[in-house]
A and B are shown apart, each in its own frame.
Chain A
Amino acid sequence: MKKVQGNDSFQRINYLHQVSKYMSMKNPALSSYYGNLIVSIAKKNVLKIHPDIKRQMCKKCRCTLIHNVTGKMKIRNKNKLKFVVWTCSICKTERKLPIDKNKDHTLWVDKPEAVVEIIN
């Protein structure tokens, strides 16, 4: 059986993300502490954080965003293009993610040609 490089760190990031998400309802400060840990683990081990995890974190304070709990989600138009705008309620940072019907905004990870090999 082939081993994935940095598997234990990936597992750790996965676990910390779950904990951070759970904590954001109880104590946002701890949530952002776990978020910070995720980023620093990924930096130390030179790994990429999965975009789904990365997009759920606030860019600035790194706490997990949940609609109406730690952040607000809105759909806004700009130049006839649609964006999802996340506003963090702790540090008031905004983050825009494009979602337009007519354009292809699927992530590279989700595309079938991104999969090279499946281990396990």
Chain B
Amino acid sequence: MSTEEKTNTESAQAIINFLKSSVPKSEVANVEAELKKDFVLGIKKSKNLKQKARKKKSKNLTRREKKALGFYNISRNSMKYEDLLPMHLMWSDYMFNVLDIEKLSGIPECYSKGWDNFTQSFYRADFHGSMLEVVRSKCPSYVGKKGICIMDTRYTFKMISKDNVITTIPKQSSVFDLYLKTFKVTFFGKLLCVRPAERSTKKLKSYLYPDLN
């Protein structure tokens, strides 16, 4: 160790001597001071970091902006039932197409062949614009409400009834009747507790035991 240190100091001295000899005479006094200078690392930031920190302008509306534009509060009396009737007609045409009712000649029974296919396509279909009626519910005041569904969220249906009032009904504890031209389909709202966009990718079990609710 000691020999190594010696050689180190010797070589350092040699370098200093060489610098003193090669530098102009006026600078000789400054050589040692210059060698002891500290170099601070990291005070100056590189250009790349600056570019990364720049905020990207978002393409979509943020939640706050949406709220400011009034996308969330559809007030109680802002819509008219008559305006939504054409939407319901459009929906029933669409539903007939999706469920292939004309080809099946009616809704299949639960023991027949087409039942599995029918429930699957029913589950994947869209409910915006459907005519719904609450048959059973934990809350008795919801029972008997009938209207056109305008919004379908994860846990609720928003529907507009004939007297132009928008009501929100929880799916979890209700049973609904769905009117499709001349057909009536009854389903448990509990099974549809999925976001409408995700519903089309999820798989439904072919048979479910209805709970007492």
Contacts and interface: CB of A to CB of B under 8 A. Distances in A.
Interface string B192-205: 00001110110000
A60 B61 contact: yes
Contact of B60 (A16, A27, A37, A60): A60
B124 A8 contact: yes
Contact of A27 (B78, B98, B128): B78
Interface in A69-120: 90-91
B187 interface: no
Q: How large is the interface on A (under 10, 10 to 19, 20 to 34, 35 or more residues)?
A: 20 to 34
Contacts of A45: 200-201
Nearest to B150: A30
Of B59, B94, B125, chain A has the most CB atoms within 10 Å of the CB of B94
25 contacts: A8-B121, A12-B124, A12-B125, A12-B126, A12-B200, A15-B91, A15-B126, A19-B91, A22-B86, A23-B87, A26-B79, A29-B70, A29-B71, A29-B74, A33-B71, A37-B197, A41-B200, A44-B197, A44-B200, A45-B200, A45-B201, A61-B61, A90-B69, A91-B65, A91-B69
